[in-house]
């Protein structure tokens, strides 16, 4: 939330930003040492973002969403096929 609010202050009007993140629907969330509800540690630290909450924050910050998707198949690496959120948004 802080990142999106601060980004709003420094982005020029009409500027576009893109985000990609593992969502809290990703199965890897259930592995490793649990740090908090949406944070784990396996071989490294991971935070899992709630996709709908992220979109709500974008709306609160008055960004315009240009593209959005939450699904598997976006970044397959060996046996890992995470549930990712990809969002492109514009500063109005």
* pTM to 2 decimal places: 0.90
- Buried b or exposed e, range 71-85, using 16+ CB within 10 angstroms: eeeeeeeeeeebbbb
Q: Which pLDDT score, from 0 to 100, does residue 45 have?
A: 96
Give the pLDDT confidence of 32-54 residue by residue, as tens digits: 999 999 999 999 999 999 999 99
The pLDDT of residue 91 is 96
Per-residue pLDDT band for 1 (boundaries 50, 70, 90) equals confident
């Amino acid at each position: 939330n802080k990142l999106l609010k601060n980004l709003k202050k420094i982005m020029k009007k009409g500027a576009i930003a893109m985000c990609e993140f593992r969502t809290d629907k990703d199965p890897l969330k259930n592995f490793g040492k649990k740090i908090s509800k949406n944070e784990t540690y396996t071989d490294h630290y991971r935070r899992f973002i709630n996709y709908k909450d992220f979109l709500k924050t974008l709306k609160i910050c008055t960004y315009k969403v240009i593209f959005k998707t939450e699904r598997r198949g976006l970044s397959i690496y060996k046996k890992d096929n995470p549930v990712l959120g990809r969002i492109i948004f514009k500063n109005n």
